[in-house]
């Protein structure tokens, strides 16, 4: 999903808050009234082209926008299209996003499509491919739980140190309601029910006369070392860098 397009004054303020004041994505987003995803998008693009705050100050708004998003071209101008099959294959790799692929595309084709058009080409192509099986989830039937494959890290507010953590995620099948919790240690040989059991009501209740689904009764999960009070809170900023 394409992130929101920002005013250039917002883009400059994002970079100022991040690079000169060392503010978190969340604090920066709150200051400007935008989403944390939009902040992350601007910072990712700026780092990919090796921008610095000193360099930003020397660029005009038009030059900064061209650097981050590519040039604006007339609709009649032919642009090189993205390799959609390659994109589809790359997106299966951990940590690869459409935004990262667009940055690589612009590096090879500076006169190429902007991000929204780039994503639109891929999604139209994807919609024409062979349809996959659609599963219907009834309310109260299933909860899917797992640990994220990519380990984030928490920032210790006292020392500023990055602490690697495991990210537990539970998703309700029917509603897509999602619960996430950062934990310090995972032992995969025991059921990972501890994070779920600390959240009353997370597991959907079965409908009248309906048996609980196996995934909601006995999901294999992980044990977390330390007491709940010693575990990091999901309120801290997660860093995937």
Q: Give the angle 10-15-19 at the CA atoms, nearest 5°.
A: 155
Evaluate whether residue 231 is within a structural domain: yes
Q: Is residue 1 part of a domain?
A: no
Query: Which of 176, 170, 174, 212 minimizes the C-alpha distance to 193?
Result: 170
Residue 13 resides in a domain: yes
Q: How much is the pLDDT for 180?
A: 87
Structurally, how many domains does the chain consist of? 2
Say what percent of the chain tops pLDDT 70: 71
Does 63 share its domain with 25? yes
Q: What are phi and psi of 98, to 5 degrees?
A: -60, -35
Residues 122 and 151 placed together within one structural domain of the fold: no
Helix H or strand E encompassing 60: none
Domain range holding 121? 8-127
> Considering the domain boundaries, does residue 33 fall inside one?
yes
**Residues 14 and 117 grouped into a single domain:** yes
Q: Is 137 within the bounds of a domain?
A: no
Place of tokens 């025991």: 190
- Same domain flag for 155 and 200: yes
pLDDT for the residue 88: 92
Q: Are residues 161 and 105 in the same domain?
A: no
- Position 199 scores a pLDDT of 57
pLDDT digits 0-9 by tens, 200-216: 555 545 445 555 444 44
* Residue 236 pLDDT: 43
CA distance 111 to 106: 7
Q: Check whether residue 98 and residue 158 sit in a common domain.
A: no
pLDDT of residue 195: 56
The answer as to whether 233 is a domain residue is yes
Q: At which of 127, 158, 177 does a domain end? A: 127
Contact 64, 11 (CB under 8 A): yes
Asked whether residue 65 is domain-assigned, the answer is yes
Instruction: Tell me the pLDDT band of 189, cut-offs 50, 70 and 90.
Output: very low
**Residue at 132 is within a domain:** no
């Amino acid at each position: 999903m394409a992130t929101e397009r920002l005013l250039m004054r917002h883009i400059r303020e994002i970079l100022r808050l991040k690079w000169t004041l060392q503010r978190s994505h969340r604090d920066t987003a709150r200051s400007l009234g935008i989403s944390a995803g939009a902040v992350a998008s601007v910072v990712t693009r700026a780092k990919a082209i090796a921008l610095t705050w000193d360099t930003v100050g020397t660029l005009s708004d038009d030059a900064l926008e061209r650097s981050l998003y590519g040039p604006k071209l007339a609709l009649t101008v032919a642009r090189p299209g993205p390799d959609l099959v390659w994109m589809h294959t790359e997106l299966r790799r951990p940590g690869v996003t459409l935004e990262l692929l667009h940055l690589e595309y612009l590096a090879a084709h500076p006169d190429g499509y902007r991000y929204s058009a780039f994503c639109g080409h891929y999604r139209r192509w994807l919609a024409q491919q062979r349809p996959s099986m659609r599963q219907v989830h009834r309310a109260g039937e299933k909860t899917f739980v797992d640990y994220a494959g990519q380990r984030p890290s928490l920032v210790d507010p006292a020392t500023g140190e990055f602490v690697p953590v495991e990210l537990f995620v539970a998703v309700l099948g029917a509603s897509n309601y999602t619960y996430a919790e950062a934990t310090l240690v995972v032992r995969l040989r025991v059921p990972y029910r501890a994070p779920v059991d600390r959240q009353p009501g997370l597991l959907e209740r079965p409908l009248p006369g309906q048996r609980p689904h196996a995934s909601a009764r006995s999901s294999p999960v992980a044990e977390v070392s330390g007491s709940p009070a010693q575990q990091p809170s999901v309120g801290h900023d997660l860093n995937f860098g």
